[in-house]
């Protein structure tokens, strides 16, 4: 019999992916809009670096904090993108952003501490927090706050029962909405006033359309920043990400990482450093996402979906109340009858998720257009 901590809810996006893969194995043409995975490959110039390094000799352990080459490249990224000087000593390479969240929760919190997240939100936040023996406090957000957490809401929840930390993503998953720099600054300042850890999930940085993303590092050196090469840089399978840490957490996280992970994959670190030099290629990929976004925003409302603002990332979070009162059943039928895979909203919001579903538009434009055609035929 398994442990109680293993009794977390399944990650529905992955459950849908499993079902979609079974259809493909049976010979069906499935349109994948369920997982947040770029459809484009890593650019050739980046892969060339990987091939050359792979042929040069043995791959081994590295420093737990990451190789100097990668940390220098990340520091340069913050200087070029945001005009910020980030000491390399505060940069920590991780085995994907998932490891970053594990390390942040383990180093910053003790068993039973309360961490606030927004609902809807990325389901792995909730599951990791609960598996580690922490308490996940889900705060419902909606259109009145543009699907973002505000200082006023945070202070009210903290007053009812003290929190120890807050985790916020901008651009957000599943909504794709973003906080303005002013809103982010106000929330960071509220956390500092309440003596709460502020964890900023910035893995969708680079993927903004109508707004400019901002890093929490602009406003504080006490935040825990988590980022990844999986989304903008198309490196999901390479399992490489990074953190920018407050000085006080650098050594604690290093000690924990040495035992949990030893080090991030050496090949992935070298390749990730090269990805920063391929911005022109990545911007072309992003232009493809923008075209896909337009296709969905132009057509989904006509088919009965209520679409939230899509400021960034590569998701449309759509209300389905005009079509069904059960998004789980709707997504299952849609997959079976149209071979379009998308994720039910219950993955992201345990209370209101039956009214929503998430479409990923990270795939090929031809697939997105075909998905719209199949939906039109199915729903009309």
Is residue 67 pLDDT above 80, yes or no? yes
Mean pLDDT for the stretch of residues 163-180: 97
pLDDT at position 379, please?
Answer: 95
- Token pair of 82 as six digits: 């945001």
pLDDT digits 0-9 by tens, 317-376: 999 999 999 999 999 999 999 999 999 999 999 999 999 999 999 999 999 999 999 999
Tell me the whole-structure pTM to 2 decimals: 0.95
pLDDT digits 0-9 by tens, 266-295: 999 999 999 999 999 999 999 999 999 999
pLDDT at position 10, please?
Answer: 75
Q: Does domain 4-42+280-379 have CATH number 3.40.640.10?
A: yes
- Token pair of 154 as six digits: 């945070």
Return d(Cα 206, Cα 212) in angstroms, integer: 9
pLDDT digits 0-9 by tens, 224-251: 999 999 999 999 999 999 999 999 999 9
Measured CA to CA in angstroms, residue 229 lies from 183, 206, 235, 238, 267 at distances of 26, 11, 5, 8, 13
pLDDT at position 222, please?
Answer: 97
Per-residue pLDDT band at 298 (split at 50, 70, 90): very high
Q: Are strands 31-32 and 340-341 parallel, antiparallel or unpaired?
A: parallel
Mean pLDDT for the stretch of residues 164-184: 97
pLDDT at position 246, please?
Answer: 98
Is residue 9 pLDDT above 90, yes or no? no
173 near 204, Cβ under 8 Å? yes
Per-residue pLDDT band at 11 (split at 50, 70, 90): confident
- Scored b (16 or more CB within 10 A) or e, 143-164 reads eebbbbbbbebbeebbeeeebb
- % of residues, the chain, pLDDT over 90: 93
- Structural domain boundaries of the chain? 4-42+280-379, 58-277
Per-residue pLDDT band at 172 (split at 50, 70, 90): very high
The 10 Å Cβ neighbour count of residue 191 is 25
Residue showing tokens 């990545």:
282
* Same fold across 4-42+280-379 and 58-277: yes
pLDDT at position 7, please?
Answer: 79
User: What is 58-277's CATH number?
Assistant: 3.40.640.10
Per-residue pLDDT band at 3 (split at 50, 70, 90): confident
- Token pair of 218 as six digits: 């602009």
Name the strands in the sheet holding 241-244, side by side, starting at the edge strand that comes first in the sequence.
91-94, 241-244, 224-228, 197-201, 165-169, 114-119, 135-140
Q: Are strands 340-341 and 197-201 parallel, antiparallel or unpaired?
A: unpaired
pLDDT at position 55, please?
Answer: 93
């Amino acid at each position: 019999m398994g442990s109680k901590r293993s009794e977390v809810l399944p990650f529905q996006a992955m459950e849908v992916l499993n079902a979609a893969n079974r259809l493909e194995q049976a010979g069906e043409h499935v349109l994948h809009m369920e997982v947040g995975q770029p459809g484009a490959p890593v650019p050739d110039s980046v892969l060339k670096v990987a091939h050359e390094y792979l042929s040069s000799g043995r791959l081994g352990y590295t420093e737990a904090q990451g190789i100097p080459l990668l940390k220098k490249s990340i520091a340069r990224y913050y200087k070029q993108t945001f005009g910020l000087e980030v000491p390399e000593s505060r940069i920590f390479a991780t085995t994907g952003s998932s490891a970053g969240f594990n390390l942040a929760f383990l180093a910053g919190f003790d068993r039973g501490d309360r961490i606030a997240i927004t609902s809807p939100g990325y389901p792995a936040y909730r599951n990791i927090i609960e598996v580690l023996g922490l308490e996940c406090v889900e705060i419902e957000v909606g259109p009145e706050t543009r699907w973002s957490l505000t200082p006023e809401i945070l202070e009210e929840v903290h007053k009812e029962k003290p929190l120890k930390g807050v985790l916020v993503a901008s651009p957000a998953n599943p909504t794709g909405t973003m906080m303005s720099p002013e809103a982010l600054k106000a929330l960071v300042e509220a956390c500092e006033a309440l003596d709460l850890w502020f964890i900023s999930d910035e893995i969708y940085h680079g993927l903004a359309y109508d707004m400019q993303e901002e890093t929490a590092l602009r406003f504080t050196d006490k935040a825990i920043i988590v980022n990844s090469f999986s989304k903008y840089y198309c490196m999901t399978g390479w399992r490489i990400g990074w953190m920018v840490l407050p000085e006080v957490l650098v050594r604690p996280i290093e000690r924990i990482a040495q035992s949990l992970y030893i080090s991030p994959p050496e090949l992935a670190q070298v390749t990730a450093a090269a990805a920063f030099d391929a911005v022109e290629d990545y911007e072309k990929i992003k232009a493809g996402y923008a075209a896909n976004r337009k296709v969905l925003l132009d057509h989904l409302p006509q088919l009965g979906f209520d679409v939230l603002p899509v400021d960034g990332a590569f998701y449309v979070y759509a209300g389905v109340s005009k079509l069904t009162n059960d998004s789980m059943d709707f997504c299952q039928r849609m997959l079976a009858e149209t071979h379009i895979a998308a994720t039910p909203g219950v993955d992201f919001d345990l209370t209101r998720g039956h009214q929503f579903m998430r479409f990923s538009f990270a795939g090929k434009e031809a697939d997105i257009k075909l998905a719209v055609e199949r939906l039109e035929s199915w729903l009309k």
